[in-house]
Amino acid sequence: MENWCRLGCSKFFRGLIASRRPEEIIELVERYKKDHDKTESNYIDIVIRSEGSFSYQDIMTMPVNSISLLVERMNNRIEELNKQNKQASGRR
């Protein structure tokens, strides 16, 4: 299934590039590079925020929907901890 997706993406991008002017291709490549860099940064943030529970390789091998679920659960956990800390400091 993964190879099928990659094949489909390759065809999509080839078609996308083939129908563009050279200056548009440069803009597309720059935009995708920025998106790639942002995604890399987000993956590294997950590794840091998980305090080593997940390695970079763990994140890279996860499907995107699993990464989204992981981030959602991590954010919920942080909110719970912040709420508990706020309640604990209010009792003092």
DSSP symbols for 28-57: HHHHHHHHHHHHHHHHHHHHHHTTTSS-HH
pTM of the model: 0.64
Per-residue pLDDT of the chain (92 residues; tens, 9 = 90+): 444 455 556 677 777 777 778 888 888 889 989 999 999 999 999 999 888 899 999 999 999 899 999 999 999 999 999 999 998 887 76
Distance CA 33, CA 89 (A): 44
Spatial distance between the Cα atoms of 4 and 31, rounded to a whole number of angstroms: 25
Q: What is the pLDDT of residue 17?
A: 74
The owner of tokens 């091998």 is 61
Distance (Å, whole) CA 15 – CA 25 = 12
pLDDT at 10: 66
Specify the pLDDT at position 92. Answer: 64
